[in-house]
Amino acid sequence: MIISQFPALVLTFPEIDPILLQLGPLAVRWYGLAYVTGILLGWWYARRLVANNSIWSEQKPPFRQIDLDDFLVWAAVGIVLGGRIGYILFYDLARYLDNPMEILAVWRGGMSFHGGALGTLVAMVLFSRSRGFSTLSLMDVIATVSTFGLFFGRIANFINSELWGRVSDVSWAMVFPNGGDLPRHPSQLYEALLEGLVLFVILRLLIFTGGKLARPGYIAGAWIFFYGVSRIIVEFFRQPDAHIGYLAGDWLTMGMVLSVPMLLVGGYMMLRSQPVPGGSA
């Protein structure tokens, strides 16, 4: 398939500079802004959840808004360190072993969602234990608000013309500046929709109409499960990393492999979650 054969089926990739603002040697990039925006909006929404006593068991959340304020720094460190380490270990270890200084060049991309999730999990366990409240309840809140970061992060991937999809002739396919001459799925936007908007709506319904915050660990389990489902779906449209390729045939990718355990863990957490004493489910 070549573009000239399907001129009406190819959308023009929007020319958006990955650098939002340049102040001398300091560059403010959309990628970095997405992380900051996702964290700040998540913090704001988390405070609103904690302030709403009616969605918690016994009409009382297990921690205070000030605890979320303090956790903000822990979360940021967990996301960045976990995301970077995860990418290095899961996706491109050989390259970074040959060029160790590249590990610090986070502005050039290379962040693993699965690694960022693990880094945030470690931060939640350490922080909740230091404050003496339920790790599972903190996981429920952070899982819900993480959808902001997922949404804006995937939009930033689209602006950066990275993590694009497989070659396609669908009417909304587009040619990415660094994706070759063939039209491709804008899979970053699929991920923004599924992992950001749809997952947010699912979790909000479980919280406000299902009363699932009364069962510590249920919302976190639902997030893990439905993220895994969303990621596996998107992997059928997303082009795998060139240095990894397909693990089997022309369909199995590393993203799918890493998501399968999420289905098992998420399902198990939902099944095993129990109402707190005196609460309601």
The 10 Å Cβ neighbour count of residue 142 is 22
pLDDT bin (cut points 50, 70, 90) of residue 2 is very low
CA atoms within 13 A on the CB side of 219: 36
Residue 217 has pLDDT above 50, yes or no: yes
Mean pLDDT score of the chain, rounded to an integer?
85
Higher pLDDT, 166 or 60: 166
Q: Which two tokens stand for residue 256?
A: 């799918």
Q: What is the mean pLDDT of residues 150-165?
A: 92
Segment 189-218 shows an average pLDDT of: 95
> 196: how many CB neighbours lie within 10 A of its CB?
22
The predicted model gives 226-254 an average pLDDT of 87
pLDDT score, position 1: 43
pLDDT score for 107: 54
CA proximity to 32, closest of 72, 89, 76, 87: 76
Among the listed ranges 5-14, 173-182, 265-274, which one has the minimum average pLDDT value? 5-14
Residue 254: other Cβ atoms inside 10 A: 18
Positive or negative CA dihedral for 72, 113, 12, 243? positive
Please report which confidence band the pLDDT of residue 245 belongs to, taking 50, 70 and 90 as the band edges: confident
Amino acid 4: pLDDT: 47
Residue among 13, 14, 4, 29 nearest 156 (CA): 29
Secondary structure (H, E, C), the chain: CCHHHCHHHEECCCCCCCEEEEECCEEEEHHHHHHHHHHHHHHHHHHHHHHCHHHCHHHCCCCCHHHHHHHHHHHHHHHHHHHHHHHHHHCCHHHHHHCHHHHHCHHHCCCCHHHHHHHHHHHHHHHHHHHCCCHHHHHHHHHHHHHHHHHHHHHHHHHCCCCCECECCCCCEECCCCCCCCCECCHHHHHHHHHHHHHHHHHHHHHHCCCHHHCCCHHHHHHHHHHHHHHHHHHCCECCCCCCCCCECCCECHHHHHHHHHHHHHHHHHHHCCCCCCCCC
d(CA 195, CA 187): 12
Tally Cβ neighbours within 10 Å of residue 25.
Answer: 5
pTM above threshold 0.85: no
Residue 24 pLDDT class (50, 70, 90 cuts): confident
Q: What is the pLDDT of residue 268?
A: 97
- Indicate the domain borders of the chain: 28-272
Q: What is the pLDDT of residues 80-128, one digit of tens each?
A: 888 878 777 766 666 766 677 766 665 555 667 767 878 888 999 999 9
